[in-house]
Structure 1
Amino acid sequence: MAFNAKFSEELSKVLFLELSKENVKKLFNMDIDNSIYVPVRTYNIIDKVKFGEDLAKIPMSFFIEGMYYVLGADPSFRFSNEYVRILSTINDSDIFIKGKIGECVKSKKYNDAYIMLKGLAQIEETKDVYDKMIVLLETLRAQYSEYKNEELEIIETAEKRYNDYALPYLYECIIRKEENDYDKALFCINNYIAKGGKQTPEVTELKDSLKLVSDYEKGKEILNDDPTEALKLLIPLTNEFGNDATLYYYIAVAYRMLENYEKAIYYLNESMNIDSNIVEVVNEMGINYACIGDYDTAIVYLRKAFEVTKSVEICTNLIMCYVNKNDLKNAKIHLELAKKLNSEDEVVKEIDQYFLKNKI
C-alpha cells in the first residue's frame, strides 16, 4: 500500500471552506496575501446539521482539528505552510488537539489519532510526540501489516532527529527481528541500551536471544569460507540450542570441511538422536563414512537419503562409493539412474567419461 496516497485519501473526509484574507485576519489574527481554504472534518458539520445549529457559526475548534488532520494526512498539502503559521499563533491549540487525540485513542480510532498526531509533529516535533506516534503505529501494525513502512519511516526520522533518543531503536529492533534480520535487530537493541533505554528483564532477554540467533546465522553464513570460525560461533550454541538437530548438522559439516571426519560423525549422531528424519543429516553421514573409507556404511546412509530425495548429487556419491569398493555392477546401474535424473549434470558427465575411458 502506498501510504502517502492512503493518507491523502483521508482528505475526502474533510470539507474545505474558502476564507478571504480579511476573514483570516479576523479569525486568526494573521496576515496572508490571498484567500485560503480551511478544512473542517465532515463529521463535525454533519453533527451541527443534525442538531439544527447554524453553519455560519463554525467553532474555532473545528478549524483547529481540521488543520491538524490535513497536516497529518498530507504534509505537502497546498496550504500546509499557512496552517502551520495559523496553528502556531492560536493559544493552546496543541492542548486541544492532544485532547482530541486522546479521545480517539480511548474509542480505538487509532488511525484518526495517528493522523492528528502526525499533524501535531509538524509543529511540535518532540520526543514525546514521536513516542506516541511510534506506539500508535505499533498498535496499527499489529492489526494491519501494511503500516510497517510508515512505522519504519517515522522511526528513521526520529533516529536522525535526536542523537540521544532510545525508544525508536527498540521498536526497530522488534521489526527487524520479525524480518529475520537478526544482525540489524541486535544492532538496534544495542543502540537502544547505549542511548539510555531501560534494561528491563525483557530487554536483556531479547538482547541475549538476538546475540545467540545472530551467532547462529553468522556461523551458517561463513561455514563454507571459514569453518574454523564457524565452529567458534556454533559450538557454544549447543548450551542454549541443545535440542536443535540442525545445529549439530552444521557443526558436523564444518568438521568435515576441516577433514575431522570422526568428530563430524559424532555430531551427526547427536543430530540423529534428536531427529532421525533429516535427509541432509543422513546424506552427510554417508559422505563422512565415505571419506574414512567405510564405503559399506556410507552406502547404507546414502541409499536411505537417495530413496527419499532421488537427488542426482546423492546418486553420484553412491556411484563413487560403489566404484571405490569395486562393485562396478551397482556403479553402472546407478550411473544410468543418474543420467535419467539429469543427463546434463556436470558430475554425471565426468563419471560417464571416466567409465568410457576406463571401459567400465
Structure 2
Amino acid sequence: MIKGDKMKIVDDYFLKKVDRVSFVQLKKGTKIEIGNYTIKEDIPLPIVTTTLIEEIKEGHIEEELKVSYIIDGAIYILGIDIDFKHKNEYKKILYNYNPDIEGYILFKGFQFVKEDNLDSGAIFFRALAGLNPENIEGLFNYALSLENIGKNFIDLGHKDKGEAFLIESTSQLEGILDIDINYPLAYYKLGYHYKYYEQFQKAKLIWEKYLTLDKEEERVQEIREQVEIIEDDAKFEEGINYITKGHYQEALDNLIPLSYKHKKWWNIFYLVGLAYKGIGEYEEAIDYFYEALNLEGTDVNIYNELGICLFSLGDIQEAINIFNQGIDQDDTDYRIIFNRGLAYFKLGLVDKGKEDIKAAYILNPNDRVVGNYMKQLETYY
C-alpha cells in the first residue's frame, strides 16, 4: 500500500466524524461581529451537534447564538476536514475571537485526553496543526493522538489501519525536527517508531541524539535501557547494509561477534557465510552456511549460496545435492534451479542441465544471464 492510500485511511477516519458538527445559516441581512471580523450571512455557522440539540431542547435556538458555540464548532470542523470549503474564513474567525486561540485549542485538547475522549482530543490537535503547522506542541500531541489511535486498531486486529496511523504519526514527528532540531520528545517517540518498524540503526541513532538533549532522568534511563536492548539488532542491520554495499570485511566485523553471542540465530550464520563468500573465502563460508542449516534455517537462499560455494571449490555432486534440498524447500526460485542446471552441465548431464535452464527461463524470462544461456542452448543444442 502506497503512502497516499495510508493517508486516505487517516483522512477518512476523521471525515466520518463530520456528523459531530451541524451548521446554522444566518438570516438574510444579519451578521455577527467577532473582534475585527464580520461573519457574513453566506458563511454557515458550525456548531457541535450535541450543543445544538441541547439548545433546541431548551428552546434557546431562536435567541442569539453564543459565539463560543461557533468557535468550538469551527475548531471541530477544521480538525475533521482539513480541506473544508470555508476553512480560511473560520481561521479568521478563530484568531479574531482570541489571538491566543492556539493556546485555547491545546488546553481543550488536553482536557479531552484527560477525560479519555481521545477522538475529540485528536480532532482539536489536528485542527491546531492545520491552523499553525509550526506549533510544535500541537504537532507533537497530534502525533501522539495518531499513535494511540493506531495502537487501538492494531490491538483490535486491524493492522493495516493501525499502521496507517503510525506512519502518519511518524511523519508528524519527523516534521517537528524540521522546525526544531533540538526538540527532545520528538526523538524520544521516533525511536520507538523506528524500533517498531525494525529500523534498529535509525532507532539507535535517534535515541543517542535524544540522550544529549533531555534532562528528565527517568525518561533518560528508560532510553538508555532501550538502546542496550536494540544494540545487537542494530549491529545485525548494519551488517546487512555492509553486505548490500559489498563491504564484506566490515560486515564480518559486525556479525562475527554476534554469532558468538547468539548461537541460535541461523540468519547471523547465513550472513557471515555471505560475507566470507564475498571475500572469496569459500571454505569458511561453507562452514557457516552448514551451521545455518543445522540451526533449522530453511530459506532457499542458504541452499543456493552453499551450493555455489561447493561448486566453486569443485565439489559438484555435493553442490547438486544441496541444490536439490533447496528446490525441495522452494521449487519456484529460478536462481537455484538455474544453478543446478549449470552443475548438471559441469558433470556432462546435458539433458538435465537443459531442463533446468529452460525451467529457470520460464520462471523468469527477464533475467539477462538466464536469457543468454537460453540463446546458447538454442544455438548449440
**TM-score, length-scaled by structure 2:** 0.73
CA contact (8 A) 1:20 1:35 kept: no
Partner residue in 1 for 2:112: 104
- Which shifted more, 40-49 or 183-192? 183-192
Partner residue in 2 for 1:114: 122
Whether 2:242 is the aligned partner of 1:242: answer no
Q: Which runs of 5+ in 1 are unaligned?
A: none
The change in CA–CA distance for 1:182 and 1:147 in structure 2 (over 3 A counts) is same
CA contact (8 A) 1:45 1:55 kept: no
Deviation at 1:139, TM superposition (A): 0.9
Q: In the alignment, which of 274, 291, 295 is matched to residue 270 of structure 1? A: 291
Partner residue in 2 for 1:80: 90
Q: Which runs of 5+ in 2 are unaligned?
A: 1-6, 154-160
CA contact (8 A) 1:94 1:120 kept: no
CA contact (8 A) 2:340 2:356 kept: no
Partner residue in 1 for 2:243: 223
Which whole-Å CA distance do the structure 1 matches of 2:334 and 2:103 have between them? 70
CA contact (8 A) 2:31 2:38 kept: no
Which whole-Å CA distance do the structure 2 matches of 1:276 and 1:81 have between them? 59
Partner residue in 1 for 2:141: 132
Which whole-Å CA distance do the structure 2 matches of 1:167 and 1:84 have between them? 28
Partner residue in 2 for 1:62: 69
Instruction: Look up the SS of the partner of 1:250 in the other structure.
Output: helix
Whether 2:26 is the aligned partner of 1:18: answer yes
Partner residue in 2 for 1:159: 177
Deviation at 1:84, TM superposition (A): 2.9
Deviation at 1:240, TM superposition (A): 4.7
| Larger Rg over CA atoms | 1
Instruction: Look up the SS of the partner of 1:39 in the other structure.
Output: strand
Which whole-Å CA distance do the structure 1 matches of 2:37 and 2:53 have between them? 30
Which whole-Å CA distance do the structure 1 matches of 2:181 and 2:322 have between them? 57
- Which shifted more, 253-262 or 214-223? 214-223
Which whole-Å CA distance do the structure 1 matches of 2:102 and 2:199 have between them? 42
Which whole-Å CA distance do the structure 1 matches of 2:235 and 2:314 have between them? 34
Instruction: Look up the SS of the partner of 2:263 in the other structure.
Output: coil
Whether 2:318 is the aligned partner of 1:297: answer yes
Which whole-Å CA distance do the structure 1 matches of 2:323 and 2:102 have between them? 75
**TM-score, length-scaled by structure 1:** 0.77
The change in CA–CA distance for 1:51 and 1:84 in structure 2 (over 3 A counts) is closer
CA contact (8 A) 1:21 1:32 kept: no
Which whole-Å CA distance do the structure 1 matches of 2:335 and 2:127 have between them? 60
Partner residue in 2 for 1:45: 52
| Correspondence 1:25-40 to 2 at 5 A | 25=33, 28=34, 30-32=35-37, 35=40, 37=43, 38-40=45-47
Deviation at 1:136, TM superposition (A): 1.9
Count of aligned pairs between the two proteins: 347
Which whole-Å CA distance do the structure 2 matches of 1:138 and 1:194 have between them? 25
Deviation string for 1:245-303 (max 9, x for gaps)? 12211211221232222211221232122116443323333333333333343333233
Whether 2:209 is the aligned partner of 1:188: answer no
Letter in 1 for 2:269: Y
Letter in 2 for 1:87: Y
Q: In the alignment, which of 214, 233, 251 is matched to residue 213 of structure 1? A: 233
Which whole-Å CA distance do the structure 2 matches of 1:217 and 1:93 have between them? 42
Deviation string for 1:24-83 (max 9, x for gaps)? 44xx4x233663644321210101222444541544432332233244345670313422
Which whole-Å CA distance do the structure 2 matches of 1:271 and 1:213 have between them? 18
The change in CA–CA distance for 1:201 and 1:98 in structure 2 (over 3 A counts) is closer
Partner residue in 2 for 1:256: 277
Letter in 1 for 2:305: E
Partner residue in 2 for 1:168: 186
Which whole-Å CA distance do the structure 2 matches of 1:294 and 1:9 have between them? 65
Instruction: Look up the SS of the partner of 1:243 in the other structure.
Output: coil
Calculate the aligned-residue CA RMSD, in Å.
3.9
Partner residue in 1 for 2:4: none
CA contact (8 A) 2:79 2:123 kept: yes
Letter in 2 for 1:32: Y
Partner residue in 2 for 1:338: 356
- Which shifted more, 160-169 or 213-222? 213-222
